[in-house]
Amino acid sequence: MKQGTWVLFDLDGTLTQSEEGICNSARYAAERMNLPVPDEATLRKFIGPPLVWSFREYLGLDPEEAIRAQEVYRERYNTVGLFENRVYPGIRYVLRMLKKAGIHTGVVTGKPEGPTGRILEHFGLLKWMETVVCAADNKAEKELLIRKALPEDAAAAWIVGDRKFDMEGGVKAGIHTLGVTYGYGSEEELISSGAERIAHTPREIAEILCPGTEPVRGAFLSMEGPDGSGKGTQLERLAETLDRYGFEVYRTREPGGSPIGEKIREILLDRENAAMTDVTEALLYAAARAQHVREVIRPQTAAGRVVLCDRYLDSSAAYQGGGRKLGVEQVLAINAPAVDGTLPDLTVYLDIDHRKAMARRCAATEPDRLETEPESFHARVEDGYHQLIEQDPGRFAVVNAEGDRDEIAAEIAGKVLARLTEAED
Ligand code: TYD
């Protein structure tokens, strides 16, 4: 079953952007050994090449000192530096696409086995890797690692990497070479060391290696909560976490999210429009949504991105159905042609007492047309949300939003990542 095409990825600078942890650990090694601390540009050069080589080349150490420096580096790297790391956005898409195309994938890295395994595990990338070959006994030559990783009967093989070491290793091992310019090497370095093909973004890797494969589906996430629930902050934090895990996040909001939708938003939130009837309001939200679903939400998820939407259908059900007393059923009926079956895969609900939420909100900014509604309105909105959650508990991740921001962010990240990574298998 190991026949077919194999694609081997370098780790640092190709799958993950590890500069923060690597630079901090190299600086730590220099400080601890009472050596002059290299400048930022030099520290960045530690990414990719074998460490001992870098300590010799950039700090002028002799072989013994360089091995000692590597040990000190690892003291910090293996405990802290390891997780000062990000997966390049789009990498998850590439790995899913290669799997879909029936291509075998693996990792060859100059890093030792311990941290490599922990990084791949931490970011949920290990499940795609049929082989992981790491440096052992300070032997990190790519040619040898590649030969070790490939089964004898592999029909074709590629190395994907960001530095000359990857390209030269691939050439020596007699396999195809794809250089990526979003990592730490330049296009010039890659071409002069034998890159056959160049990718400027992770997505281009998939375009080169499995052209014509239909995109894998991304996901549609929404976040909901009463006005003042801290939704803005939590959306920001969640987008950052998903980006760090290698998802391509498309952020959007309702009402709005498309040029036409944003115009409708202005009408809806304008305090001058006090004469707007409840049904008009519900229809306008639905109209903006109809455009948003077709112009943004469906195309972006179909292209493999994670759409992260600030409010969606549940807001209409809670605000117009509950708050305006149009009734949840009628509001859902009004919205049926707008959403046409498109519901979020997961909705994060920030659960907070509406009085506490409103107190927070009013302290922050000038209220808009809906926020100036009396307390009873917001009480009905909150009840509306709770009804929706009861009706469809599987779609919601309910998070207590009254506590500490960091803890709320961590709980949301845990729940969303679990759902997204489960869906990619
Ligand atoms: P916004 O400024 O986005 O508020 P927030 O930051 O609290 O999300 O304004 C959106 C307002 O519109 C908010 O008060 C909720 C309301 N709304 C509805 O009443 N129905 C809907 O369908 C949507 C999407 C929003």
Report whether residue 370 contacts ligand 1, using a CB cutoff of 6 Å: yes
- pLDDT of 1 > 60? The answer is no
Is the domain spanning 5-15+85-209 CATH 3.20.20.100? The answer is no
Given this model, what pLDDT does residue 258 score?
Answer: 96
Q: Do domains 5-15+85-209 and 219-424 have the same CATH topology?
A: yes
Instruction: Indicate the domain borders of the chain.
Output: 5-15+85-209, 19-83, 219-424
Say which CATH superfamily domain 219-424 falls into: P-loop containing nucleotide triphosphate hydrolases (3.40.50.300)
Contact 212, 97 (CB under 8 A): no
Give the residue, out of 311, 347, 361, with the most ligand 1 atoms within 8 A of its beta carbon, to mutate for a pocket test: 311
C-alpha distance from residue 12 to each of 20, 150, 185 (Å): 11, 20, 11
Q: What span, in angstroms and rounded, lies between the C-alpha atoms of 275 and 263?
A: 18
C-alpha distance from residue 403 to each of 351, 385, 410 (Å): 10, 20, 12
Report whether residue 281 contacts ligand 1, using a CB cutoff of 6 Å: no
Nearest residue by C-alpha to atom 8 in ligand 1: 227
With bands split at pLDDT 50, 70 and 90, how would you rate the model's confidence at 291?
A: very high
Rounded to the nearest angstrom, the distance between the alpha carbon of 369 and the centre of ligand 1 is 10
How many Cβ atoms from other residues are within 10 Å of residue 367's Cβ? 15
CA dihedral 134, 137, 139, 140 (to 10 degrees): 30
Q: What span, in angstroms and rounded, lies between the C-alpha atoms of 222 and 68?
A: 50
**Residue range 380-394, pLDDT digits in tens:** 999 999 999 999 999
Is the domain spanning 19-83 CATH 1.10.150.240? The answer is yes
Contact 348, 370 (CB under 8 A): no
C-alpha distance from residue 53 to each of 50, 59, 67, 219 (Å): 5, 10, 9, 43
Q: What span, in angstroms and rounded, lies between the C-alpha atoms of 109 and 15?
A: 11
**Residue range 43-86, pLDDT digits in tens:** 988 987 889 999 999 999 999 999 999 999 999 998 899 889 99
pTM of the model: 0.91
> In ligand 1, which atom is closest to the CA atom of 256?
24
